[in-house]
Amino acid sequence: MYRYDEFDERFVRERVAQFRDQVARRLDGSITEDEFKPLRLKNGVYLQLHAYMLRIAIPYGTLSSKQLRQLALIGERYDRGYGHFTTRQNLQFNWPKLRDVPEILDLLADVEMHCIQTSGNCIRNVTADHFAGVAQDEIEDPRPTAELIRQWSSLHPEFDYLPRKFKIAVTGAEHDRAVIKAHDIGLRLRRHPDTHEVSYEVSVGGGLGRTPMIGKVVRDYLPKDDLLAFLEAIMRVYNLEGRRDNKYKARVKILVHEIGVEEFRRRVEEEFARLDGPSVNADPAEVARIAAYFKAPDYEALPAISRVLEATKAANPAFARWVEVNTIPHKAPGYAALTISLKPVGEAPGDATSDQMRLVADLAEQYSQAEIRVTHAQNLVLPYVRQRDLFAIWQRLGEAGLASANIGLITDIISCPGLDYCALATARSIPIAQAIQHRFADDNRQKAIGELNIKISGCINACGHHHVGHIGILGLEKRGIESYQITLGGDATENAAIGEILGPGLAAEDVPDAIERIVNVYLSERAEGESFIENVRRIGLAPFKAAFQEVAHAVA
Amino acid sequence: MPLLDRNGTKVDAWTRSEGSGIDNLSQALVPWEALTEALQHKTRDQRIGVVIPNNIRIAELKLVLRQLSLIAVSFPAYSDGRGFSLAKLIRNHGFTGTLRASGPLIADQFAYALACGFDEIELPEASAARQPVEQWLKAVGQISHGYQRGYGDSHNILDQRRTARAAGRLAAS
Ligand code: HEM
Ligand code: SF4
């Protein structure tokens, strides 16, 4: 993991002091509420429905045990004993008091954490593949790139007052687990076919919200050394030319859409060619310094398949099932990357209590190099687990209600906070997730359905990624009543796609029925080994629409 | 309107002229629309500054850069960050005169403005009244070093690390 040096340490401490001073200047009237708002947002402090909300940055979703314990402590001392992991790999506290925020920031700084740019019209917390460093399909670890961007984008003098928020995601693998195509900038590390040099494919203009768009490639192979200069060129074009007359049209996706990707690319390349790259880019020694922190741990030499694991699996079907669903093959023989589900049936997706955080921190310390990852699907990962330790981990997770075997399945639902917490919400989303989870709680049924991503947002802003859910659910409000619009065929991976609307909105209580009908179409139409999304792509929307209409008519 | 730079408040030596009429003003600040005409009337020892909107294209501006002693970039609102990029572009195109940020900035933006190449800030009376100059001078030093290379001096963190590395190598050899 990255560790702060003296410069990082001072920077974060000074930022805390600066925020204290900003609060003081707000209180004495030096700055107006209007002027204070972006300052507080840029430090993660939102004003929400019931209270302030504090969003803590977990850069590229990587946490140490020590950091997770500190989050547990903060949750206990300043919140109600839990926190909410978000689709941007961050953690939100829903009930802190404004006056406590500087103290919380101090506690975070003690463990090399902060809330810098977790909100506001600036470059936000950089996200990355949660299996970075351990996935078998990885070309290069994305975290050094993400850390370099974290530093470069922090309090950037030129790009802190952008037209709108700006999100960057990085992946180094073939399979995109970081949803890079739904980000303002998506970076993919890939090898050049001729030179075999690792470089970046750069996409710009993805985003969800009310105008969902898939990012477009502006550079196929950017040499790694040129990263910061190229980012500077993109940001400068956007900062100068992004629309500022209408906040709904201010994201870079709209600029790319309005002038066309060719013209956007031309302007970026022109600026990139003109600016003095060597004076902007990090020198290779700096990149190497950062990369060294992400070196693989010293793995034990182990057989590819652990006999202990096989034996415990054979003796315990529930455990076997959990291993099958919640782990992925690892780069190192005899190891596994384990995803801990924060989606037990009936709980708010992504919530974890302080006790649960402590347990995961302990397990990581004992079994996974004291490292944890947060996934954009709102789960946690122990990236370096020996296969033979899985049984012990499973038992302890089970005691804490954290052993659900549902990663990637129909109950592993992404959901935003919705009307339960969010001031912008038009409908509830957590209760909808819970109702669907109850409907499909049966393990065998989930297994029979296989991989299926449901994503729920409580309003058009799409924090729950509904556009890229295999099944997306959007909560709206029609004449004072919640109404849920269902989309089908979205995809958050390298085959990124925006889902299509199936029909008229439904009442909350009809949503589980509609989902069930959609799933039944798949179960009866699927070919051998065909997943839900493959089936939708092959047979098209029509059969699903027909089934959906039956629900819509029955209730109309 | 109140004016300040990194040393504190300062007196404005420039006189605004609404049109292109610069008569015998020694330092005349004219609007962008009137610049061409003002430059035509300029005498040898007159100095010309221009007030530009923040949506101006650098391609247009760069043609006149060398004839200007001051450029005042307008900030219609503190939240409109175009001026920061414009300043950077103007400096990147070799402008060595005075760069002024003109508008309702807040003290927290002072360091950013300087890093992007501005020399001074011209505030509306109301903003200046709320935010005494001491606040600006304090705010500017709150973050001692940023990470970005190419903004201001070479005290940024990346260059400092580079220097430290070089020193380490020297010591080791
Ligand atoms: C509770 C307070 C929250 C507020 C006020 C809020 C506000 C917003 C708004 C206004 C947008 C639309 C931006 C646009 O289209 O330009 C948005 C998008 C988004 N937010 Fe939130 N959000 C909140 C919570 C969350 C949470 C909890 C998550 C993660 C679970 C999240 C992640 C995202 C993502 C991923 C997007 C859409 C992707 C994009 O286009 O950038 N937000 N949010
Ligand atoms: S999608 Fe809407 S309701 Fe949900 S968190 Fe975002 S802004 Fe709030």
Report the range of poorest mean pLDDT among A44-53, A248-257, A312-321, B36-45. Answer: A44-53
pLDDT tier at A307, thresholds 50, 70, 90: very high
The full length of chain B comes to: 173
- Structural element, H or E, at residue B72: strand B70-74
- Helices (H) then strands (E): counts for chain B: 7, 8
Instruction: Flag whether pLDDT at B78 surpasses 90.
Output: yes
Spatial contact of A411 and A433, defined as CB atoms under 8 Å apart? no
The model's pLDDT over A86-122, given as tens digits with 9 standing for 90+, comes to 888 999 998 888 888 989 999 999 999 999 999 999 9
Question: What is the C-alpha to C-alpha distance for residues A364 and A353, in angstroms, rounded to an integer?
Answer: 16
Structure tokens at A20: 């204290």
Predicted local confidence at residue A50, as pLDDT: 67
Q: Is the CB of A475 under 6 A from ligand 2?
A: no
In DSSP terms, B52 is beta-bridged to B73
Question: What is the C-alpha to C-alpha distance for residues A180 and A176, in angstroms, rounded to an integer?
Answer: 7
Question: What is the C-alpha to C-alpha distance for residues A12 and A1, in angstroms, rounded to an integer?
Answer: 18
More confident call, A515 vs B171: A515
Instruction: Give the number of other Cβ atoms within 10 Å of residue A154's Cβ.
Output: 24
* Binary contact (A25, B107; C-beta < 8 A): yes
Pick from A473, A462, A455: nearest CA to A513? A473
Question: Cα B120 from chain centroid?
Answer: 6
In DSSP terms, B100 is beta-bridged to B72, B120
Predicted local confidence at residue A166, as pLDDT: 97
Instruction: Give the nearest ligand 1 atom to A253 CA.
Output: 40
What is the residue type of A407? I
Spatial contact of B60 and B33, defined as CB atoms under 8 Å apart? no
How much is the mean pLDDT over chain A? 95
Ligand nearest to the CA of A254: 1
Q: Which residue pairs, CB below 8 angstroms and at least 24 apart, start in A311-319?
A: A312/A390, A312/A391, A316/A391, A318/A405, A319/A390, A319/A391, A319/A394
Q: Is the dihedral angle over the CA atoms A149, A152, A158, A162 positive or is it negative?
A: positive
In the predicted model, what is the mean pLDDT of residues B156-169? 90
Which residue, chain included where needed, has tokens 């009543």?
Answer: A481
pLDDT tier at A246, thresholds 50, 70, 90: very high
Residue numbers in B near A243 (CB within 8 A): none
Percent of chain A with pLDDT over 70: 99
Task: Judge if pTM exceeds 0.80.
Answer: yes
Residue numbers in B near A240 (CB within 8 A): 55, 82, 85-86, 89
Residue A172 backbone dihedrals phi, psi, to 5 degrees: -120, 10
Question: What is the C-alpha to C-alpha distance for residues A192 and A219, in angstroms, rounded to an integer?
Answer: 12
In the predicted model, what is the mean pLDDT of residues A242-264? 97
> Is beta strand B3-5 parallel, antiparallel or unpaired with respect to A216-223?
unpaired
- Structural element, H or E, at residue A543: helix A542-555
Predicted local confidence at residue B172, as pLDDT: 38
Q: How many Å is the Cα radius of gyration of chain A?
A: 23
| Ligand 1 centroid distance, CA of A457 (Å) | 9
Cα pseudo-dihedral A292, A295, A300, A301, rounded to 10: -110
Q: Given A22, A161, A289, which is nearest B80 (Cβ)? A: A161
Q: Given B81, B152, B157, which is nearest A161 (Cβ)? A: B81
Q: Given B130, B144, B157, which is nearest A31 (Cβ)? A: B130
Residue numbers in A near B115 (CB within 8 A): 157-158
Instruction: Give the nearest ligand 2 atom to A427 CA.
Output: 3
Helix A511-525 to helix A430-439 angle (10° resolution) is 50
Predicted local confidence at residue A421, as pLDDT: 84
Question: What is the C-alpha to C-alpha distance for residues A330 and A22, in angstroms, rounded to an integer?
Answer: 46
Predicted local confidence at residue B173, as pLDDT: 33
ipTM for this model: 0.95
The model's pLDDT over A143-176, given as tens digits with 9 standing for 90+, comes to 999 999 999 999 999 999 999 999 999 999 999 9
Instruction: Flag whether pLDDT at B171 surpasses 50.
Output: no
The model's pLDDT over A315-372, given as tens digits with 9 standing for 90+, comes to 999 999 999 999 999 999 999 999 999 999 888 889 999 999 999 999 999 999 999 9
Helix A317-326 to helix A307-315 angle (10° resolution) is 130
Chain pair A-B, CB pairs under 8 angstroms: 124
